[in-house]
Amino acid sequence: MASQTSLDAILSLSKRKGFVYQSSEIYGGLNGCWDFGPLGVELLRNIKDAWWKAMTYRTDIVGIDSSILMHPRVWEASGHLQQFSDPMIDNKTSKARHRADNLIEEYAARLRTKGKTDQANIVETALQAATSNEDLHAIIVTHAIPDPVSGTTDWTEVRNFNLMFKTYVGPVEDVSNTVYLRPETAQGIFVNFKNVMDSSRMKPPFGIAQIGKSFRNEINTKNFLFRTREFEQMEMQFFVKPGTEGEWFEYWRQARWDWYVNELGIHPTHMHRKPHEKLAHYAAAAEDIEYLFPFGWGEVEGIHSRTDFDLGKHQEFSGKKLEYVDTVSKDRYTPFVIETAIGATRTFLAVLCDAYAEEEVPTADGGVETRAVMRLKPSLAPVTAAVLPLVNKDGMPEAAESIMRNLQRSFRVEYDTSGAIGRRYRRQDEVGTPFCVTVDGQTTSDSTVTLRERDSMQQIRIHTDALTEEIRRRLDV
């Protein structure tokens, strides 16, 4: 797993190898936005496919793809217009704007590093007890917390700053035309609950899954892909009969944990579950799955038992019934919801961090060298196999090209002829390619090649006719 210092290594490798670039880099970049390059887009797609498969290759969940722009009333009903905000404070001298709770947390951390443990404890206890913007302001003033930019304590009041991006539909930019870029994909599912139930003949317990972009005007974007302003979510809302939500919550918290271990290959000791200490007023239970990033533990997914809050609110605001009616028993109810909400792009970062390793390996001349290797689960790797002709003559390129075309019917394949074979292996190791197929002098006479496995670096000799099946077999493991 990646250490703290290697987040920088991952960032630089991401750019160098085409996983992730800074958005609009030639114009100096746009904070909180990133672009996925040729390898990154494949890895992200594979992660999303793994989720889609786990969620929708079953009879009780269907998928949708709802629009990013939605009727503004959706956000009134969901509470986002009123509550989806962070408490912000401005420094009058520097004009810097900070999240008030972060400012206090960081101040306490600084006290702790200076050995002022008692004082740090007092500040942290006050923060935990704070329930309003006034409380946060009082802590900042009482402890004379200085602005990290200007060093002054010249603060405004603490005000709420809504995280939704606003825009307008049509040519007139006025209040009546205001719409928002969705801050979560979930609401697209709630408002389509009845459409899906009616058109797909689904009945509770059943789920609706969606993958799509979400947007939040985060104040602090940090740690690469961890907190960005534009990101992708994979959310699933599971609609159940009231009274059964407890067992379904248990089912999903286990199913989601298993997915990280079995389908993403994340090491279980690098994850933990974190039950929410403070539950939202509508939530019956909530738990996060956290990953140990190089910068510390961070949430990758939330599993929430949300009662009938969301469907209830949309019934109230739209005036439309969002109930299930059992045609036989005439049983009628508004389903309760278990939500599994995961960030695809944040999970991408977790997968990269978990896979990245630097290790000492023996060289052909008996020495040792350091190799960077991305130990991605083979099925997630952006490139499944690299075909490498040993030299660029003696019929080897022709044989290699024919093998490549054959493999390309089933897998993403790269072809590389440049440099010594050892260097070519390293290049593939670094981007996580699980298999290298080397074409040598023997290939042209007996149609065999060497198949090298990335992690063990072990090689077997195999007939080209058996290659596709062998790779497929190893991918399924």
Q: Contact positions toward ligand GAP, by CB under 6 A?
A: 184, 186, 216, 218, 227-228, 231, 233, 235, 299-302, 339, 341-343, 345-346
CA angle 454, 457, 462 (to 5 degrees): 90
Nearer to ligand GAP, 347 or 428 (CB): 347
Least Å from the CB of residue 473 to ligand GAP:
33
Least Å from the CB of residue 338 to ligand GAP:
12
Query: Which residue's C-beta sits nearest to ligand GAP?
Result: 343
Least Å from the CB of residue 331 to ligand GAP:
28
Residues 6+ apart with CB under 8 A from 89: 97, 98, 100, 103, 136, 137, 140, 155, 156, 157, 158, 159
Least Å from the CB of residue 287 to ligand GAP:
11
Nearer to ligand GAP, 124 or 288 (CB): 288
Task: List, as one string, the DSSP characters of 379-429.
Answer: GG-S-SEEEEESSS-TTHHHHHHHHHHHHHTTS-EEE--SS-HHHHHHHHH
Least Å from the CB of residue 75 to ligand GAP:
13
Residues 6+ apart with CB under 8 A from 88: 97, 98, 99, 100, 158, 159, 160, 161, 219
Instruction: Tell me which residue of 228, 215, 234, 107 sits closest to 162, measured CA to CA.
Output: 215
Nearer to ligand GAP, 302 or 382 (CB): 302
Nearer to ligand GAP, 345 or 443 (CB): 345
Nearer to ligand GAP, 14 or 448 (CB): 14
Nearer to ligand GAP, 19 or 425 (CB): 19
Least Å from the CB of residue 43 to ligand GAP:
16
**E strand or H helix at 275, and its extent?**
strand 271-275
Half-sphere exposure of residue 205, counting CA atoms within 13 Å on the CB side?
A: 19
